[in-house]
Structure 1
């Protein structure tokens, strides 16, 4: 694709057009994960542009996490990360299936346990009350991506015991099989180092960074129905969200006499 074609396709700067072209080829598999990209010299010839223009395009793609450099060896394609929008209350399979990924679950444990003080407070049940504890590994395109540890009140746990947890999201089972309309979730996100259970479940090295999601899901009336920890491989998954500027501040700036 020579420079003249790039200009004809878009009014954007050449390096932006090259970046978009290379991004498309990375995402559609033309440049496979961990494969080496053409050299700067080859890209200059390919697009008939200067090395500075090519470097701008590659630099932006590197900042986006689509490329990485190895000193003395060249530029390589990163393994793309799956992502989920944290601003929408969806189950993992519900979100990933809509993006074309193949989803499977490994049910590791399902047992009834006594709620400790922390779990009891999250589910709004007495300490020592019986709750269901569910451990599942979520597979994305047959690779382990997350470990889920979920607790639900006993009455819902008995319903989940007979459900197909190997192929279905708990959210969909609660809504469709148990008749529980979901309302909202309280979510916190941090990073931890993988312990033995996570190493075994996700096939990562001990001490490697893992994204941890703590989530309490409530029904439409505000009652907690599901408390869980979700552990995601940091090299394979990311959460995304959109953050808007507070409208009250924007209005304040337009009020007469608001500026000081």
Structure 2
């Protein structure tokens, strides 16, 4: 015999499930809308820095008012926007584009957005750690020039760069104006040939206490870590860098081509 659950008990059982599903769908839609609005913000779609009213956003994107509010809440949690009484939702954090499809220094990439300066925190010959010597193709325990720089854009901390350069190029960098000149340009002058290619790895890592303090970011916050091994035009590796970018101030962009 098949026992059937009374209709009332069935409704009591399914109602919480349906409500949870509606909440999940609303949260999904809020994330989707937040992604679209973030793209618009970073692309300069709101030049006056003020987002449209919630009702306008809802009409433009076909979203309910609750979904719009949740999406704006996600962007506020990212500290990208904030609510100002009498004004509305305003952009409070600008991100700057860093291209991944060309081999350029930070100052070359961001020159249109402000002045990039380097605070040289450390510059000294050191014994190359084994992985560094291996990547730079130099004998084990060779000396390399180690440089630690805090990069700022118009005075605001942007990245912490840890750089290893073979000592055959070191003397030219030791005597150079590293505070106002990109390492790339100095390496090309010292090597007598242009840079050619770079291998890059990009990932998100948690800021350690030292990095967080230097970048003036909360300890444990996520930062973008760019590992870059740069070669001269003849293929010789000359620059190994570990660059920690503040994720709230930089966005990575590139143009990729599909090849068969």
Deviations 1:114-167 (A, max 9, x none): 011100001101111010000001101210000000000011111100010000
Residues 30-49 of structure 1: matches in 2 within 5 Å?
30-31=48-49, 37=51, 39-40=53-54
Q: Which runs of 4+ in 1 moved over 6 A?
A: 61-67
Aligned CA-pair RMSD: 3.2
* Residue 53 (str. 1) matches residue 60 (str. 2): yes
* Residue 206 (str. 1) matches residue 219 (str. 2): yes
CA distance in 1, matches of 2:181, 2:53: 45
* Residue 92 (str. 1) matches residue 100 (str. 2): no
Scaled by the length of structure 2, the TM-score of the pair is: 0.71
Counting matched residue pairs gives 211
Q: In 2 relative to 1, CA 154–242 (structure 1 residues): closer, same or farther, beyond 3 Å? A: same
Q: Match of 2:123?
A: 110
| Max Rg structure | 2
Whether the aligned pair in 2 keeps the contact of 1:111 and 1:134 (CA below 8 Å) is: yes
Unaligned runs of 5+ in 2: 1-38
Unaligned runs of 5+ in 1: 1-18, 45-50, 249-260
Partner SS, residue 181 of structure 2: coil
* Residue 219 (str. 1) matches residue 219 (str. 2): no
* Residue 156 (str. 1) matches residue 156 (str. 2): no
Partner SS, residue 138 of structure 2: coil
Q: In 2 relative to 1, CA 220–204 (structure 1 residues): closer, same or farther, beyond 3 Å? A: same
Residues 135-154 of structure 1: matches in 2 within 5 Å?
135-154=148-167
Whether the aligned pair in 2 keeps the contact of 1:66 and 1:80 (CA below 8 Å) is: no
Stretch of structure 1 that moved more, 77-86 or 164-173: 77-86
